[in-house]
Structure 1
Amino acid sequence: MNGGSDETDGVIHQANPHLTLNSDDTLFHLGLSTDQNLEEKFGDVKFVCMGGSTSRMHGYAEYLAKELQIQDATLEDLCTTDRYEMYKVGPVLSISHGVGMPSISVLLHEVIKLLFYARCRHVKIIRIGTCGGLGLVPGTVVVSEMVVNEAFEPVYQVFVLGKTEKRPTHLDKALGDEIAACRPSDAGYEVVRGKTMCTSDFYEGQSRLDGAICDYTETDKMSYLQSAYDNGVRNIEMESACVASMCNRVNIKSAIVCVTLLNRLKDDLVSTPHDDLKKWEMRPQQLVTSYIKSQINSI
């Protein structure tokens, strides 16, 4: 499946036979349940934008409301727990996902169920965030064309009933191309397409030398990162494989859009001034918002 085929009229595929539209269900970590009118509240959602930080996604909701000129945006947290934060701006949800695949996996299970119960169609899920680059000028935005794991395989590994499953991590090519094409000619930064390596750890999993544990050398690190580059990897982050895999399973188109904060072929630590980093963090938001604005009139 290519993450959102029109052959099913944009309906979210039900990948759990134990659930139905009439299920009595609690979305525990969001603090929502099916005894609320989820279709009335969320049935018009077409875009779900996810990022790690709660403050960043609140700021993105404010930015969206201004850019889309939506006066009745919900800029108060819709979650009733402190695990994640979620805001609604017209047909867009802006949600924080925390750090790493375990955190975003929990969120995606509940967000996908929310979209299913709300009878949403033609939804697109887009992760917007930061990453480490490979061979790119810091500040470059990468729109992922494929997600691979630490062994450069296009799979997401998950344990089910004690057994390992490897699920494909394909992304929707057309969606990625459309987002990348929304870069303004005077943007002042590059947008590239390339493979994204998704890791399960920030330190050893990404070949850093500054973690609490490290059993390899600088030469080992550089050899591995060069191999990643030679395999087409252009950035490294910690959530994309889970996003791509889960969206594939339920017929939702997905994209990963991240700005590089450093070139890992040169540095392990970010040395860019804070003010510049804040500007760079806006680049994926601006790019994705331009895409949403280009689509919103056709919804």
Structure 2
Amino acid sequence: MDPLKNKQNSSFSTPVCVHNPHLDSLKDDILYHFSLGTETHDLPAMFGDVKFVCVGGSPWRMKAFIEYIAAELEMEDPKSEYPNICAGTDRYAMYKVGPVLSVSHGMGIPSIAIMLHELIKLLYHAQCKDVTIIRIGTSGGIGLEPGTVVVTKQSVDATFQPKFEQVILGKTVVRNTDLDQNLAEELLQCSKELDQFETVIGNTMCTLDFYEGQARLDGAFCSYSEKDKQDYLIKAREAGVCNIEMESSVFSAMCKLSGLRAAVVCVTLLDRLKGDQLMSSHEVLNSFQKRPQILVGCFIKKQLMAKAVTS
């Protein structure tokens, strides 16, 4: 399976790329953690019209998103039930309405990486083209007012370097974490048009851990001082880091490899320079979590309206 041959079958559309010649020898490609497969399911019929994929950590949040987008696009009754396409497994949840697919990815790099391998193959087998994928989620901000939405310019690691490292066959492989800058600007413009909440573009730091890896003082173990924490977070801020989460690096790397137009949109739930624990009420946090959905919903609606006009 030649990725270069597969990259541009049409000057007007971009297919999803896979980089694995071994897939050609599989009679049935089983997407185990989705409970789907090429022999058991008609993937082109089920997913061939997908143009937008939104992924987020929580199954509940991704179901809420599909209900929200269905109402925004006026495609289905917002009170109708949306079945979990991955009901045969408890690993991930997947929902669909029209050209929009909503998928949960769990927490952390390993969990989202497993999901992305199978999602990219699903889109490939379904013969999807011109797909935009956006991670929507929550994060800790650095020097930002809680509730601020961050559109990621570039994902960086815990040393502030724009890279994702993975050990493959005992060797460290380094992959690029660039995201689509035009897409980031389009999302920022949508936020300006909405004029409902503050949105910024900045670097996002992706860590391997929620506690020590993010310089928290409230984990089960901590070998550094408040001053050490502050010094580190200030260095991160000086490196252009606006927020911290645990999935953006591998998300950026894998989407770039597969030719997917990608963005990361996360709301900040607190300013890490002022504390480590969430002190806001459940109601306030819930309203914050809806902001990436609102922004991405606006973007999708705008894109579909523009397409309808041109066609």
The reply to whether TM is greater than 0.5 is yes
Q: Which amino acid aligns with 2:42?
A: N
What residue is the counterpart of 2:159 in the other structure? Answer: 151
Q: Which residue of 2 aligns with 1:253?
A: 261
Following superposition, the deviation at residue 185 of structure 1 comes to: 4.7
Choose from 19, 22, 43 the match for 2:23: 19
Letter in 1 for 2:118: E
Selected match of 2:38 from 34, 40, 47 = 34
By how many angstroms is 1:9 displaced? Answer: 3.0
Is the CA contact (8 Å cut-off) linking 1:128 and 1:257 kept in structure 2? Answer: yes
Q: Aligned residues, how many? A: 296
What is the one-letter code of the residue matched to 2:51? Answer: K
* Aligned 1:172-191 pairs, distance under 5 A: 172-185=180-193, 187-191=195-199
**Alignment pair present for 1:196 and 2:204:** yes
- Aligned with residue 85 of structure 2, among 78, 84, 98: 78
Distance 2:199 2:124 in 1: 33
Q: Aligned equivalents of 2:90 and 2:194: distance in 1?
A: 39
Report the alpha carbon displacement of residue 89 of structure 1 after superposing the two structures with TM: 1.0
Give the partner amino acid of 2:228: D
The answer on whether the counterparts of 1:21 and 1:116 sit within 8 Å (CA) in structure 2 is no
**Which whole-Å CA distance do the structure 1 matches of 2:172 and 2:210 have between them?**
22
**Residues in 2 aligned to 1:229 and 1:74: alpha-carbon distance in whole angstroms:** 43
The answer on whether the counterparts of 2:18 and 2:120 sit within 8 Å (CA) in structure 1 is: no
Match of 2:3 in 1: none
Shift of 1:156: 0.8
**1:211-290 matched pairs, under 5 angstroms:** 211-290=219-298
3-state secondary structure, aligned to 2:111: helix
SS of the residue corresponding to residue 272 of structure 1 reads coil
Unaligned runs of 5+ in 2: 1-6
Q: Partner residue of 2:58?
A: 53
User: 1:226: how far off?
Assistant: 0.4
- Comparing 190-199 with 177-186, greater Cα deviation is found at 177-186
1:16/1:55 CA distance change after superposition, 3 Å: same
Q: Percent identity?
A: 50
More deviation in 176-185 or 218-227? 176-185
- Structure 1 length normalisation: TM-score? 0.95
State the distance in 2 between where 1:259 and 1:30 align. Answer: 27
Please, which moves more after superposition, 107-116 or 213-222? 213-222
Does the 8 Å contact 1:124/1:252 carry over to 2?
Answer: yes
1:74–1:89 Cα contact (<8 Å) kept: no
Q: List per-residue Cα deviations over 1:249-276 (Å, max 9, x = no partner).
A: 1111110000000001111111111101
Structure with bigger helix share is 2
Provide the TM-score with structure 2 as the length reference: 0.91
Specify every segment of 5 or more residues in structure 1 that has no aligned partner in the other structure, as ranges.
none
Post-superposition Cα deviations, 1:144-189, rounded to whole Å, max 9, x if no partner, equal 0111000111111111111111101000000111111111556342
Which stretch of the first structure deviates more once superposed, 20-29 or 91-100? 20-29
Are 2:65 and 1:65 aligned? Answer: no
Higher relative contact order (CA 8 A, sep 6+): 1
Closer, same or farther in 2 for the Cα pair 1:23/1:92, shift >3 Å?
farther
Q: C-alpha offsets along residues 117-156 of structure 1, whole Å, 9 cap, x if unaligned?
A: 0000011110001000011111000000111000111111
Contact 2:18 2:121 in 1 (8 A): no
SS in 2 for 1:287: helix
